[in-house]
Structure 1
Amino acid sequence: MEKIQNEQLELIAGTHSKNRNSFCGDTYYFAQEGNSFVCLLADGLGSGRYAYESSQAAAEIVKRDWQEESVEGMMNLINTAMFQKRGAAVALFKIDFNARSFEYTCVGNIRFYLYAKDGKLTYPLPVTGYLSGRPQRYRMERFTYEPGSKFLVHSDGVNLLNTKELMRYRSAEQIAAELDAVALKSNDDATFLVGNLL
């Protein structure tokens, strides 16, 4: 697992490929510059090398453009990059730590949850389908958070039954340990990122 911790955020990410395949079709990327943070989770269609190539192409765009481009702008670039590739489900968000706000969008079966300290669970519904190079509409979501809120984003290889219960009393490390155990047993590529907003 990969972990970062600073004054604004504690984040733990983990990923496991299907059947220990050398290519994982899931790719995540995150970066922070000052009070701005970006996070991508891309799940290439299927598994193996071509799924890996699609999800990596999404990550390369975010890595290159996230400081200049909006979330919607990056999704358009990722969609264009999927032309003649397998395609990918993509969740992408930016956090503004000063404004304590998220800008979020998702196409495909990646799940995102924001759990507030008062027990409120925000769960934006993704647009069905996947990015393939064809014209695509995005549902842009914006929401604010309080310090002490937690978020979770995971690919469909992570099978969760009671997300609210999982996030209620546990620390980011405890949540990540449980998710890692679930991901290990998955018969699909499985990736998660869990964050604690400080």
Structure 2
Amino acid sequence: MVSNIEWSYHAFQRNKKEYDVCGDSFFIGEFQQRLVCVVADGLGSGPNAHDSAERVTQAVSTYGATLSLQQLMHKCNDVLRMQRGAVASIMYIDFEQQTLQYCGVGNISCYFIHDNKVSYPKPHYGYLAGKRIEPFVETISFTVGDRCFLHSDGIEVNEITQLIDDTTWQALEHDDTEQYLTYKDDDLTYVMLNF
């Protein structure tokens, strides 16, 4: 552990029916004083989308310990030059400072649950493909008991306020999602973080 704060996560992923690989990718790892989480969605579906999403998570796992969050998003953009492209959301969680830094490009959705309220960190519009981007970093303070829910666009949350409820959270951790999530005919990924 990076600190005395207990944390846990749950992830679910499914590829689009006609493909053998998922066009989404995720990575969660600890680097000394920070926890790093990324969800990436390669543009389209199939092997090329899978490759682009994997390039993002590989960059995060390689450089997440040393780069600032904005630098890391630029690195993810650089590795997708001349590739299919991807959208991605990355979080740095600092347990000593009890802060969460968020940087997103594209339509990965992120919900932060604190004090029975849901907030939505804002992503930068567009996608990663080696072209110029100006990603911004949002910093949020968190306390023990807070949660995050990230998902690719293959999922819609039926009622956002249900994410506040412990019953909903427990059901989602067991992939009992029918009442809470709508799945599209697409690659899909969701990641849940508990602090």
Common fold: TM-score over 0.5: yes
Q: What are the ranges of 5 or more consecutive residues in structure 1 without an aligned counterpart?
A: 1-5
Cα gap change, 1:149 to 1:24, in 2 (>3 Å): same
Q: Which secondary structure does the structure 1 equivalent of 2:155 belong to?
A: coil
Q: Distance in 2 between matches of 1:171 and 1:160?
A: 11
**Among the aligned pairs, what percent are the same residue?**
28
Please tell me whether the aligned partners of residues 157 and 188 of structure 1 are also in contact (alpha carbons under 8 angstroms): yes
Q: Distance in 2 between matches of 1:64 and 1:52?
A: 18
Determine whether 1:153 maps to 2:175: no
Please tell me whether the aligned partners of residues 89 and 108 of structure 2 are also in contact (alpha carbons under 8 angstroms): yes
Q: Which secondary structure does the structure 2 equivalent of 1:59 belong to?
A: helix
In the comparison of the two structures, how many residue pairs are matched?
191
Cα gap change, 1:160 to 1:17, in 2 (>3 Å): same
Q: Distance in 2 between matches of 1:181 and 1:85?
A: 37
Please tell me whether the aligned partners of residues 159 and 180 of structure 2 are also in contact (alpha carbons under 8 angstroms): no
In the other structure, the counterpart of 1:19 is: 17
Specify which structure has the higher proportion of helix.
1
Q: What are the ranges of 5 or more consecutive residues in structure 2 without an aligned counterpart?
A: none
* 1:178 CA displacement: 3.6
In the other structure, the counterpart of 1:3 is: none
- TM-score normalised by the chain length of structure 2: 0.90
Q: Which secondary structure does the structure 2 equivalent of 1:58 belong to?
A: helix
Q: What does the per-residue CA deviation read over 1:24-49, in whole Å, with 9 as the maximum and x for residues that have no partner?
A: 10000010134410001110000001
Q: Which secondary structure does the structure 2 equivalent of 1:99 belong to?
A: coil
In the other structure, the counterpart of 2:121 is: 124
In the other structure, the counterpart of 1:31 is: 29
Determine whether 1:137 maps to 2:122: no
Please tell me whether the aligned partners of residues 163 and 169 of structure 2 are also in contact (alpha carbons under 8 angstroms): no
- TM-score normalised by the chain length of structure 1: 0.89
- What value does the CA root-mean-square deviation take over the aligned residues? 2.0
Please tell me whether the aligned partners of residues 89 and 105 of structure 2 are also in contact (alpha carbons under 8 angstroms): yes
Q: How does 1:57-72 map to 2 (within 5 A)?
A: 57-72=55-70
